[in-house]
Chain A
Amino acid sequence: MIIVRDAYKSFNGNQVLKGLNLEILEGEMFALIGRSGLGKSVLLKHIIGIMKPDTGDIFVDEQNVGSLHGKQLEAMRRKFGYLFQEGALFDSLTVFENVAFPLREKTAMKEPEIKDRVFVELEHMGLKKDAHKYPAELSGGMRKRTSLARAMIMQPSIMLFDEPTTGLDPIIGQSILNYIQLCHRRLGFTGIIVTHDVPRVFTIVQKIAMMDDGRIIINGTYDEIVRQGNPAFQQFLSGSIDGPLHYV
């Protein structure tokens, strides 16, 4: 279970989180939507603890993320898989080595076993024949998929996906979403998907939250939100310029 309580965060005067509250239940798939540049990535980084709120607390499984150190912090980090928006692949390592990295660093697995695991994962991502390439030789979509494979290889219990389908063609995008759903069913992780890929993503999540002006303004299941007929949500879905959300 993830709880964000009253989180405030600003970057030299730019107030990004303004008392944000959010609760995500164990095993839930959660979509986080909202306009560009409003702090969705920042929120994910707070949850995993590489950014700290100015005030407010973040709890993951009853532990305050900001107060952890050493072994406890390491144990907490191991629960997470994180897909960076820009991939954050190690550019001195090949696709294979990138995906194998967490296994090599954090498990006692033998090399043949690692090889099998990595190739199974790469197969799912359609990257098997690119295993020897370096990130600089990949297309944007391939980079994203490599990064996704690296995030999932440790089979974490909490997955944070920062725009898993952005920059992919619609077909690969759909297959990635299907794969995430498949993994969720198989592994039962708690998942947060930050995405602009609406309405497609709604088919694989249980709940949706929408962020605006540093807070969560809408939170609920798809049916609930549609029943409420929230104008901001409808505007976001239709991509209309007129409505309660406007350009900043």
Chain B
Amino acid sequence: MFISCIRGLGRGALGVLEMLGSYGMFLLTAFFWLFGSPLKFRRVLEQIIFIGVKSTVIVLLTGAFTGMVFALQVFYALSKFGGESLLGPTVALSLIRELGPVVSALMITGRAGSALASEIGIMRITEQIDALEIMAVNPYRYLVVPNVVAAVVSFPLLGAFFSMIGIWGGYLVGVKLLGVSEGTYFGEMSNFVEMKDITMGITKSLSFGLIVSWVCCYKGFFTEFGAKGVGKATTQSVVISSVLILIWDYFITSISL
């Protein structure tokens, strides 16, 4: 009983190590091809459209509503001690440092990350990846690298859009609806928001872009066979990406405070 318990633990630990190793090798190989060969700009552009441009509407929509509801809630809290004038900076700081990068990343993961995993997964099970290899076209260079680059470019831009429209949504609610003066809303905001807050938002978005494209490409690339395999890869890539986004977000926030 005791022995088999230990054995199970050992096997589990080995499994986890093996998985981490394989994720690591995947990223290293991708980096090797990213820096070791000319970038395929056309492919990168296609993937920026796929990951970034096509996610714009959903990101703007969620951004606006997040900003609006957030302003409502914060106004309620601030009004308990007469701090309504701080509505602008609170909304802005939260969006720029936290909600913008995180919520937009989660939205893009749901829309584009899942599609990415299933697209690459289908390419795997229909032997399109083998076909690339046979034509001596490296699948990392052709498939993985463009997606990683596109994600690292798109995530910060979409995160910034999210924050901007969120601040505007907060303005609608705070200024137009709840009567905070326009001067206070934006004035206090520019007093409190510093460059380092913006840098932090961008850093987060960059790393989320890397995480999401990494996980989703990996899951697609190593799909198990059959339609079931692709379904599983898609679901898992979204779940794993989302969890990693939240964990990494906590980690990066805590070390930079």
Contacts and interface: CB of A to CB of B under 8 A. Distances in A.
A122 interface: no
A88 B133 contact: no
Nearest to B122: A91
A12 to B, nearest CB: 12
B137 interface: yes
Interface in B110-132: 119, 122-123, 126-128, 130-131
Question: Do most interface residues of chain B lie in helix, strand or loop, or is the interface mixed?
Answer: helix
Contacts of A74: 136
A74 B134 CA distance: 9
A50 B130 contact: yes
B137 to A, nearest CB: 5
A84 B135 CA distance: 12
A77 B135 contact: yes
Interface residues of B, number: 14
Contacts of B142: 105
Contact of B133 (A77, A86, A101): A77
B28 to A, nearest CB: 16
A48 B135 contact: no
A119 interface: no
B136 A84 contact: no
A161 interface: no
A88 B130 contact: yes
B139 to A, nearest CB: 11
A45 B134 CA distance: 10
A101 B130 contact: no
A91 B128 contact: yes
22 contacts: A50-B130, A50-B133, A73-B136, A74-B136, A77-B134, A78-B136, A80-B134, A82-B131, A82-B134, A84-B127, A88-B130, A89-B128, A89-B131, A90-B123, A90-B128, A91-B122, A91-B128, A101-B135, A105-B135, A105-B137, A105-B142, A106-B135
Given A77-B136, A90-B123, A90-B128, 10 more contacts: A50-B134, A73-B136, A77-B134, A80-B134, A88-B128, A89-B128, A91-B128, A101-B137, A102-B135, A105-B137
